[in-house]
Amino acid sequence: MVISTLNTKLIEDRLGFINLALAKLKNLRELSRESFFKEDKPAVAESYLRRCLEALFDIARHISARTAGKGLVEYKEIAKSLGEKGIITRDLAEKLVLMAGYRNRMTHLYHEISNEELYKIISENLNDIEEFVKQIKAFLEAFKLRDAK
């Protein structure tokens, strides 16, 4: 796979934001169900989750554009591309396709996102985002080693 200029600073910055957002979401998932549904906590969770997914797909789009030779626009295509190139596992790529769909719902069908749904996602699915961070860090390390030679 040929990689044109890869902006590792951009990727590392976005990974930093994802980790910050994950920490905030983990704090929210530690709350009891009753506490989570009080005040503006669901809105805070939605904001961090949506921005976390945006950062995730910023990274994916950048890597995909630098490795595909063409820019992909659809988040689902971008997710599949990373799996096909072995940048992330195919299993994670399939999960990213689902995340892309959820990101689109959060952006365009935000009025249909329920507080219960948000609570369930932050309680059960943050590990998929953590796995993305882990695999992208491994890809970056391999890229830096190869680039140093």
Residues 57, 74: contact at Cβ < 8 Å? no
Residues 128, 92: contact at Cβ < 8 Å? yes
The single residue listed with the structure tokens 């799996």 is 83
The residue range of the domain holding 74 is 8-148
The pLDDT of residue 149 is 61
Q: Please check whether residue 91 lies inside any domain of the structure.
A: yes
Q: Tell me: the pLDDT tens digits for 79-90?
A: 999 999 999 999
Q: CA neighbours within 13 Å on the CB side: how many for 119? A: 15
- What is d(CA 21, CA 115) in angstroms, rounded to the nearest whole number? 18
Q: Please check whether residue 26 lies inside any domain of the structure.
A: yes
Q: Please check whether residue 89 lies inside any domain of the structure.
A: yes
Q: Please check whether residue 1 lies inside any domain of the structure.
A: no
The pLDDT of residue 73 is 76
The single residue listed with the structure tokens 């890597």 is 63
The pLDDT of residue 4 is 64
Per-residue pLDDT of the chain (149 residues; tens, 9 = 90+): 556 689 999 999 999 999 999 999 999 999 999 999 999 999 999 999 999 999 999 999 999 988 866 667 789 999 999 999 999 999 999 999 999 999 999 999 999 999 999 999 999 999 999 999 999 999 999 988 886 66
Question: Dihedrals φ, ψ of 130, to 5°?
Answer: -60, -40
Q: Please check whether residue 3 lies inside any domain of the structure.
A: no
Q: Please check whether residue 85 lies inside any domain of the structure.
A: yes
Q: What is the pTM of this model?
A: 0.91
Helix/strand/coil for 83? helix
Domain total for the chain?
1
Q: What is the CATH number of the domain that holds 88?
A: 1.20.120.580
Q: Please check whether residue 2 lies inside any domain of the structure.
A: no
Q: Please check whether residue 39 lies inside any domain of the structure.
A: yes
